[in-house]
Each structure stands twice: as C-alpha cells, then as structure tokens.
Amino acid sequence: MMDIQSIKQRFGIIGHSPRLDRAIDVARQVAPTDITVLITGESGTGKEAFPKIIHHLSSRKHGPYIAVNCGAIPEGTIDSELFGHEKGSFTGAHDARKGYFEVVNGGTIFLDEVAELPMLTQVRLLRILETGEFIKVGASKVLKTDVRVVAASNVDLQKAVSEGKFREDLYYRLNTVPINVPPLRERKEDIVMLFKKFSADFAEKYRMPPLHLTQDAEQLLINHRWSGNVRQLKNLAEQVSVLEKDRHITADILDRYLPREQDNPLPVLFNQQQTEASGMNEREILYKVLFEMKRDITDMKKIIMQMLEDEQVSQSFQEEHAHLIEKLAKDRDLPQVYHEQDLNVPDKEAHQDDAVESYEEATHEYVEENLSLQEKEKDLIERALDKHNGRRKKAARELGISERTLYRKIKEYGLG
C-alpha cells in the first residue's frame, strides 16, 4: 500500500496539514474495498482528487473511471445520461443510448454535486446502490451493473434531508464512509507553500521570472479567509504572476488583489423566520423601539432648553427648531408643548419657568405612558388590526409576528 507522501506526489496534492493527511489516509484505507464513499467539503477544496485516489488504489484501477457533475446536466436529461434510453423514448431520442452506469461497468463513477440530483433520479440511484439494477428510460428490461460509486457534495446533506430536498435513505447509503476535505483557512500551514507552487508553475507557463514574497505578504496570505479555498488561491497566484512587473511582492501589492469584506449599511428587514432564527422576539423589538423614542425625547429637551437659556438666539434659529419640534411631535404623537409664539415671548423671565415645567410634565407623562410595554403592545396590535380591517393574517405580517402569536395576544388583551 502506498504511503501518504507517495499519494500526494502521484496526484499532485500539496500540503502537510494533519486534517488533509487524515482525509488521504481514509481514502487509502477504503480504496481496496467496494464501499460507497461520500466526500464533503467546501467548493474549491480539491475534492475531485479523492475519487481518483480511491479508484487507482482499488482492484478496479484497470476498469473505466468517469466523473459526472450532476449540477451541470439539465433535469430533463439526467436520467438518460446516467441510465441510458431506448430509441423513441422521448422527443429527440433517434437512437438507443447507453448511460454512464452501463458504460462504466466494472469501474468507478464519481458523482460530483450529488445533492443536485432530482428526487426521481435519487430513487433510481438508490436502487443501483442496493441491488446493482437499473432500467433505461423508455425500456422495461432490468439491467445489471457492477459500478463503485463515489459521491461528493459541498452542501450540508443532512440539512438537505431535513428540508425534504434529499432522500434520507440515499444519504445513509452514500455516507457509508465519509471523507471531509478541510477548507484552506483550516490549513494555514499550507497556504504559502501552495501559493509558491502555483506562482512557480505560472511563471514557467508564461515564461516569466518567479515571484518572491516578503514576510508581510506571506502573513497577509495566512490571515485571509479564502472563501474560495484552493481554487481562489490559485487564481490569485495567476493574476499576480501575469500582471505584476515587479516580482518582489509585498503585502501592499498583494492587498490590491484580495477581495474586501464590506459591511452592508442598509437596514435589515426581518421576517418571521429571520426573527426566530436570531432569537429576537417581538417583545425585544418593542423594547428597542421604545428606547429609540426615549432618546428622541431627550434630544428634543436639550434643544428647547438651549433655546430658552440663550438670550442671543436669533429669530430664524427659533423658527427652525420650532419646526423640528413640531415635526417630531407629530411623528411620535407627542403633546406639542411649544409653539412658535411660546418660543418668541417678549418677557423671557416671565415664561421660562412655566415653559420648562410644562415641558417636563408633558414629557414625563408621555414616557410613563409609553414605557408601559403591555399598553404599547396592545396599541400596536389594535392599529395593525384597524389598518387591515381585522384581517389577522395581514396584521401579523405587518407586526412581524406569527399568526399564532397574534391570536394569543388578541386573547390576552381581550381584543377579539
């Protein structure tokens, strides 16, 4: 049996990560058997090398090997491609055709992106895995095949099963021996080595001098997330090799080629599923709204107090802030304590104390009234029901809560 280092050299695998070595070791051990293997890992991690290892280290190494990208074949023709069809079985079927499972008899078939298979095709595949039998499209005769299946997916198949997109029995049949290929961010010790190998290959291919990385450039490579994994790193090495005239690569040069992760400044719209997933219920949302309202009140108070204390406040300044106060009061349904004539009193000393007292009394009553969460909740529900003429489904959607929660609240507050 070949050792791990020999396998790496033969199949062009670069790296010394323990997790990578573990994946290769599992592939080496399972190869002599006919056990079905499921290879998992993110896109771009190099999953396609492992079915080749399994095939070439097995007793089927002299038989045919074929890799099929299940996501690249249209749903209407996938059954014909895999299992074959008879002449006249569908429009355009001018001749009978053998499918991959018939052609690869005695060999290995690699089903990449197996999660993309339609449900009916999954049933046919399950039958082949269990009995080795299949039927061509448009035929009635049962055929036999001896094919080893190695499948791969970059999606969570267990999640696909729970969502009804992948058959549970097929998942367990494929997952007899799982092999997980680690993402590049979990192989940090291999990143610089891979970049240097790729850049050297491209330098030779394009007849250019090799690249030389500075220490800060190497550290930048190591710290990057690499969401596209080895494929993304290889593309980066090719870009830099072709475009950079200066072969001495610093972190500043390299940084121009790395994608930026930008925060989205736009507000997020929550639906019921998002709210439940984030653990944020309607009560917490209401708390947030109330605190924002309280902050607005505090800001308004500061503006008015500044105006009353500053004897040099201009007429235009007073009018501008009076308009702002009235607008905020209207938006928040606040009591409009101050009007333009209140802000332009000729005898400031005679009115200041009364105005401040009136303002503080009104805002105090407002805060006390609105910080009662249950009253606010009840008020919001009543408004939503009125807005949608009692249609509870639409009201629940408006409030961002489930219909069941809305029914419970209506009963709790006696709104039914």
Per-residue pLDDT of the chain (416 residues; tens, 9 = 90+): 789 999 999 999 999 999 999 999 999 999 999 999 999 999 999 999 999 999 999 999 999 999 999 999 998 899 999 999 999 888 888 899 999 999 999 999 999 999 999 999 999 999 999 999 999 999 999 999 999 999 999 999 999 999 999 999 999 999 999 999 999 999 999 999 999 999 999 999 999 999 999 999 999 999 999 999 999 999 999 999 999 988 999 999 999 999 875 444 444 444 444 444 444 455 556 656 666 677 777 777 666 666 655 545 555 555 555 655 555 455 544 444 444 444 444 444 444 455 445 545 555 554 454 445 677 778 888 888 888 888 888 888 888 788 778 877 887 878 76
Is the Cβ–Cβ distance between 341 and 301 less than 8 Å? no
The Cα 79–Cα 136 span in angstroms is 8
pLDDT at 343: 42
Written as six digits, the tokens of 291 are 């605190």
CB of 129 closer than 8 Å to CB of 168? no
Torsion of CA 31, 32, 33, 38, to 10 degrees: 0
Residue 224 is classified by DSSP as S
Which CATH number is 4-182 given? 3.40.50.300
Give residue 325's Cα distance to chain centre: 43
- CATH 1.10.1040.50 assigned to 188-255: no
Note the pLDDT of residue 405. Answer: 81
Confidence (pLDDT) at 385 = 84
Tell me which fold the domain 373-413 belongs to.
Arc Repressor Mutant, subunit A (1.10.10)
Q: Given this model, what pLDDT does residue 276 score?
A: 44
Q: What element of type H or E holds 245?
A: none
Helix (H, G, I), strand (E, B) or coil at 59: coil
Strands 212-213, 248-249: pairing is parallel
Residues pairing with 149 in the sheet = 109
Q: Given CA atoms 323, 326, 330, 332 in this order, what sign does their dihedral have?
A: positive
- Please state the φ and ψ torsions of residue 38, each to the nearest 5 degrees: -115, 120
Separation CA 194–CA 231 (nearest Å): 11
Q: Give me the residues paired with residue 64 across strands.
A: none
Q: How many residues are present in the chain? A: 416
What are the residue ranges spanned by the domains of the chain? 4-182, 188-255, 275-370, 373-413
Category of 283 on φ-ψ map: left (φ > 0), alpha (ψ -120 to 50) or beta: alpha
Residue 245 CB neighbours (<10 A): 6
Quick one: CA dihedral 251, 254, 255, 261, positive or negative? negative
Reading across the β-sheet that carries 148-153, which strands appear in turn?
65-69, 108-112, 148-153, 37-40, 177-180
- DSSP 8-state assignment for residue 85: B
The pLDDT value recorded for residue 320 is 55
Q: Of all helices (H) and strands (E), which one includes residue 265?
A: none
DSSP-assigned beta bridge partners for residue 152: 39
Q: How far apart are CA 161 and CA 277, in angstroms?
A: 19
Q: How far is CA 145 from CA 99, 110, 118, 123, in A?
A: 11, 15, 21, 16
Could you tell me if residue 401 is left (phi over 0), alpha (psi between -120 and 50 degrees) or otherwise beta?
A: beta
What is the identity of the amino acid at 28? R
> Which pLDDT does position 380 carry in this prediction?
82
